[in-house]
A and B are shown apart, each in its own frame.
Chain A
Amino acid sequence: MKLKNFAAASIVTMMAAMPALAETTIKIAGFGASSGVVGIFGQNSSAAMQAAVEKINSEGGVTLANGSKAMLETEYYDDRCNAEEGISVLRRIATTNAAIAVGPTCSNVAEPLFGILQAKVDDAGDTGLQFPIFTDVAIKGGLAGISEWVFRNTPSEATMYDDLFAWLRATYPDTKTIFGGVEEDFAHSRFTWYSVMKAAAEKHGFEVVGEGQWLLNDTNFSNQARAMRRAEPDIIAISAHPFTTCGMLREMDRQKISPKVLVGLTSSSSLETLTGCANEAEGLIIPTSFAPVNDAAKYAADAVAAKGGALDLHSAAAWENFMILRDVINAAGIEGTAESLQSDRRKIRDALGALDTVEGLLGTNKRLPDGEAVKPYVFVGAKDGGWAVVHNPGS
């Protein structure tokens, strides 16, 4: 059984590689976690990348410096959300003919990975790897600043939550207090509560009346929910990933805690939360950088679904990255030969760094000098087992 699959897999890989030899191709590698507990993220990103490449190639591919056309190709590497593997994968990608890599999934891979890159371009004293990365998923704040070779197309949580709480202040004028629940041992969720949500809430005049902490694989939330019940907050913010978000929501339901507003973590605005606990999540409001609100977004969502993935805020970034990279490659004038590989990478990096704005699925994305992005966003709410847009600041 296994051998068969193995043989089948290798044949498929070989067949897929065949036509690529026929003409000039530019490779954009994808990497991240496509197996393990968070594997679904990588699988979605991988599907989005394939769909994006198909679209770009059907529209004629990219233009090289000499005016000729080249097709794009992509391959996805699995790092299992492990730092060492992520570094190894990147080194492997750097030895292939890939011009740039899109990834990784996990912030705990991104942080060490960016550390092995050259911190400042043209710093001869720094022997870090010189390879451009355009991150789609790893979202923990402030990571792109680690190296000048890193760019991210992840939403700026600081901006989104700041606006969310401003909107809440205006929409629910009688809400005064907020209680925060945080998944303490996950870098992203922890950072988002203490450095983003809490600050934003306080800035807009909400009083933080308590905090409850739990760990990634906790199963008992009764203590935290009891503290919530006593504090009687108007707003409850849960900065956690789907599994514990659902566990906590269930416990709140059990203890009959019903705040006026429920706020969730960006990463939880995915299918997982709804699969896990659609009933309890009803009304949960989350800012997200993707929702199928316009034709381009709907088209992308369908194209990715045809590849067996789901388009959510993470995989939408992978799709956007490829679209942005098409324009960047066209503008950078790369040669696309084996000899020009290193200078092509440098050209792509510089062209990415020179961008001020790019077009994303929801509108114009602002690019910041440190490699981060400020993306348009919408506020979605869980409604009848789906995500519905409750407010669109851009419209």
Chain B
Amino acid sequence: MDYYFFIDLIQSLVDGLLFGTTYALIGIGFTLIFGVMRKLNLAYGAAALAGTYVGLAAAFVTPLPPILVFFVSALGSGIIGYIVYLGCFRYTPSSHPMAALLASVGMLLFIDELVIHLSHGMPYPYPSVLRNAEITLGEIWIRGDMLFVFGICVLAMVILYWLLYRTSLGLATRAVSQQPRAAQLCGIPTGQVNALTFVISGVLGGTAGAMTAAAVGVLSPIIAMSLTTKGLIVVVIGGLGSIPGAIIGGLMVGAAENVFQLLRGVTERDIYVMLLLFIFLTLRPGGLFGNTEGRD
């Protein structure tokens, strides 16, 4: 029994870490918007989900290979990200962060209901790759499709890093995030940079949504809320605006969730995860990599 327990623990950890990469992607999207605009976008999870449905809809129209479905999902989510920007952030004054926050709640409810309205709330199968492949290391199984998800997530992060630190666009983004006023004075079009941030984070969210759907194999509007919550949690653990923080935060949440499920069962799992989060936040208010200010 002890042997099994040990194996289970490692297996849970591995599964959790792999799943954690999707949380990390969602978290990066959140943290990017937060880093650049200092605003919270609660419609983010819903937009990611809607984008995933766009990919699925495309696959209904013409049969597409899974990779293209993922790509269309990411793209669709990017476009929806731009719509969210226009609807919630472009025209609400920056002096009233609450207005943008609540507008994004309205957007969340609207997108969610729209998706449900169009899909009738039915779960639909979502394609995945390497579904039946797996690597076995002794007693430990590693799912092939999860490894693929892991790979895509890592790739998305690498591209993001390249974009942020190796291109002039990234320079502008970072400038706006550090000193919006000064950036504007240097001739950087802050409005465009903000809009672009939403598109990029939308693409990340869409990728995460697609990967989550691919991991389950089924897509349902039911997961929008949990995507949002997980993303938020990941962001604060990592530290606001910190991309490495979001990555580590995502992996931590994924692993913690799965291990607590093994140890305490599914009904108590979330109590312990939330308790850890609460304690963590009060002891380290800035998160792992953030400043201790916890500013907004």
Contact = CB atoms under 8 A, between A and B. Distances in A.
Nearest to B16: A220
Given A184-B266, A214-B266, A219-B216, A277 B125 contact: yes
Contacts of A215: 266
A217 B226 contact: yes
B221 interface: yes
B217 A277 contact: yes
B166 interface: no
B123 interface: yes
Contacts of B226: 217, 219
A316 interface: no
A213 interface: yes
Interface in B73-118: 113, 116-117
Given A184-B266, A276-B125, A220 B225 contact: no
Nearest to A38: B121
B190 interface: no
Contact of A36 (B121, B132, B267): B121
Contact of B15 (A223, A271, A272, A278): A223
A254 B146 CA distance: 12
A326 interface: no
Interface stretch (B33-41, B195-203, B257-265, B284-292): B257-265
A55 B267 CA distance: 47
A5 to B, nearest CB: 12
Interface residues of A, number: 34
Contacts of A271: 122
Given A36-B113, A37-B116, A226-B8, A219 B121 contact: no
A40 B121 contact: yes
Contact of B217 (A216, A218, A250): A250
Contacts, number: 100
Given A219-B215, A220-B19, A276-B122, A243 B117 contact: no
B222 A276 contact: no
Interface in B1-34: 4, 8, 11-12, 15-16, 19
Contacts of A226: 8, 11
Contacts of B265: 213
A217 B131 contact: no
A243 B120 contact: no
A220 B4 CA distance: 20
Contacts of B143: 222, 254
A333 interface: no
Interface string B217-241: 1101111011000000000000000
B223 A35 contact: no
Contact of A216 (B124, B222, B261, B267): B222
B17 to A, nearest CB: 12
Interface in A180-216: 184-185, 213-216
A220 B125 contact: no
B105 to A, nearest CB: 16
Q: Which of B116, B222, B258, B267 has the most CB of A within 10 A?
A: B222
Contacts of B123: 242-243, 246, 272, 275-277
B254 to A, nearest CB: 9
A222 B8 CA distance: 10
Contacts of A213: 265-267
Contacts of A276: 122-125, 218, 220
B190 to A, nearest CB: 32
A226 B258 CA distance: 13
A222 B4 CA distance: 15
A39 interface: yes
Nearest to A222: B15
B124 A219 contact: no
A276 B218 CA distance: 6
B259 to A, nearest CB: 10
Given A35-B117, A37-B116, A247 B217 contact: yes
Interface string A217-251: 11110110010001000000000001100110010
13 contacts: A39-B116, A40-B120, A43-B120, A185-B267, A217-B223, A220-B15, A220-B258, A222-B15, A243-B218, A254-B143, A255-B141, A275-B122, A275-B124
Interface of B: 4, 8, 11-12, 15-16, 19, 113, 116-117, 120-125, 131-132, 134, 141, 143, 212, 215-218, 220-223, 225-226, 258, 261-262, 265-267
Given A37-B121, A217-B225, A243-B220, 16 more contacts: A35-B116, A184-B266, A213-B267, A217-B223, A219-B223, A220-B16, A220-B216, A226-B11, A243-B123, A243-B218, A246-B123, A247-B216, A276-B123, A276-B220, A277-B217, A277-B218
Interface of A: 35-40, 43, 184-185, 213-220, 222-223, 226, 230, 242-243, 246-247, 250, 254-255, 271-272, 275-278
Shortest 8 CB-CB contacts between residues of A and residues of B: A276-B123, A250-B217, A243-B220, A246-B218, A213-B266, A243-B123, A222-B15, A219-B216
